[in-house]
Amino acid sequence: MSRAHRTKAPEISIVIPTGDRADQLRACLASLAIQTDPPTCEMLICAPPHADTLAVIDELAPHARVVTMPKGSAVGRRNAILPLVTGELVLFLDD
């Protein structure tokens, strides 16, 4: 189906697994915030329960759903959050 015939854009779930990297997460979220034509989406972030990481999320993505996971790899974080997505498409971003 051509884009011109599509009546509704697909819903997107943006999934960001992060470790203890508040500065990199800040850059990632800031980049998303300046998109000129952002799609309708939900954002899910799987992060350790560190105050600096959670503060960045509160500041730049207060609408995001956050799943805290004390330890684990990026793959483990992706797998933990994937069952929670509701979008038709899933976009995985790494910070």
The packing angle between helices 51-60 and 22-33, to 10°, is 10
Quick one: pLDDT at residue 2? 55
What would the pLDDT profile of 19-68 be if each residue is shown by its tens digit?
Answer: 888 999 999 999 988 886 766 788 999 888 889 999 999 999 999 999 88
∠ CA 12-77-28, nearest 5°, is 55
